[in-house]
């Protein structure tokens, strides 16, 4: 079992390569890693092309949802995009918050930050900035954000509870998040869990859906809702790299137990504590 720091190093290394990988490879794989499939295209990604603010140069095909659809971003909002990659969701968010708003993208991969900054410059956006940082320790002071978004990133982070506590910290009272991510509904075969490619590919780093939602609740969020919940099917030409023929037959016979969800939650206007009547 790799340590948290080893896992972060793995993700940083893989996504440095993915930053310059052909987008069609990313969209035919699991978040750009874990090998490409000739059987299925768009294994995880949703179609952004008709969404206002979409910038094709910033779309690396690495998402598993469209978190801005349920993010309720208003003009003038401060939006933080965790794991911002080349800037795709940040630029869609910028369209929603307008020139009077602000978008801050956080990523810990230098190659992704370089791409995102280049894309922002090409688009002429002066209110979209990108910062280097680990989302387990977000480089922002408390209470700055109206909205936090993220797309298929938290599953790559070893300490998911810490990320949700950090999201809670940087949100203003009454602020909210909208996050698309990969979760599982049953335990995956051990070969998938142990493989480094499948960790970087957003699969073996995913946790049980019930555990994921519990982390959100434990962080203090309320009005937790799931806006989208869809199955993710790993095609056989990827599975064959990890499982025997018999294992593939069993695994593929029913629901593989891998899902993409888009979840929403609100930071209460008044924090609840042991001495408060709200408890």
Q: Distance from first CA to last CA of the chain, Å, rounded?
A: 39
* Cα separation, 81 vs 178, whole angstroms: 10
Q: Mind listing the domains of the chain with CATH numbers? A: 4-266 (3.40.50.150)
Query: Per-residue pLDDT for the chain (279 aa), expressed as one digit of tens each?
Result: 577 786 677 667 766 666 555 555 544 445 545 555 454 445 556 778 889 888 888 887 778 899 999 999 999 999 999 999 999 999 999 999 999 999 999 999 999 999 999 999 999 999 999 999 999 999 999 999 999 999 989 988 889 999 999 999 999 999 999 999 989 887 777 766 665 555 445 566 788 999 999 999 999 999 999 999 988 877 777 777 777 787 777 666 656 678 889 999 999 997 555 444 444
Quick one: DSSP state of residue 187?
Answer: P
What pLDDT score does 46 carry?
A: 72
In terms of Cα–Cα distance, which of 79, 76, 77 is closest to 87?
79
* Cα separation, 171 vs 244, whole angstroms: 46
pTM here is 0.83
Neighbours of 239 (CB within 10 A): 22
Read off the tokens for 192: 């998938």
What pLDDT score does 202 carry?
A: 53
Question: Got the DSSP string for 134-163?
Answer: BTTB-SS-TT-EEEEEEES-GGG-S-HHHH
The β-bridge partners of 176 are 147, 266
Alpha helices in 124-229 (DSSP H): 160-170, 190-194, 196-200, 209-219
């Amino acid at each position: 079992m790799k340590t948290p720091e080893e896992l972060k190093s793995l993700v940083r290394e893989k996504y440095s390569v993915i930053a310059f990988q052909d987008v069609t490879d990313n969209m035919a794989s699991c978040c750009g890693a874990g090998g490409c499939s000739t059987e299925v295209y768009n294994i995880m990604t949703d179609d952004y092309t008709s969404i206002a603010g979409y910038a094709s140069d910033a779309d690396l095909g690495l998402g598993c949802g469209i978190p801005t659809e349920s993010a309720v971003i208003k003009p003038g909002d401060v939006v933080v995009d965790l794991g911002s990659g080349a800037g795709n969701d940040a630029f869609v968010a910028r369209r929603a918050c307008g020139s009077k708003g602000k978008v801050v993208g956080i990523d810990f991969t230098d190659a992704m930050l370089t791409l995102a900054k280049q894309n922002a410059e090409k688009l002429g956006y002066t209110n979209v900035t990108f910062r280097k940082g680990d989302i387990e320790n977000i480089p922002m002071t408390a209470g700055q954000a109206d909205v936090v978004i993220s797309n298929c990133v938290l599953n790559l982070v070893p300490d998911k509870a810490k990320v949700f506590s950090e999201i809670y910290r940087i949100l203003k009272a009454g602020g909210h998040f909208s996050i698309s991510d990969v979760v599982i509904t049953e335990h995956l075969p051990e070969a998938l869990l142990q493989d480094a490619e499948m960790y970087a590919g957003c699969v073996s780093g995913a946790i049980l859906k019930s555990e994921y939602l519990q982390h959100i609740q434990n962080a203090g969020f309320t009005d937790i809702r799931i806006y989208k919940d869809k199955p993710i099917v790993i095609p056989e030409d990827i599975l064959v790299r990890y499982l025997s023929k018999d294992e593939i037959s069993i695994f593929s016979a029913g629901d593989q137990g891998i899902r993409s969800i888009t979840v929403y939650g609100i930071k209460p206007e008044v924090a609840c504590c042991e001495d408060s009547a709200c408890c």
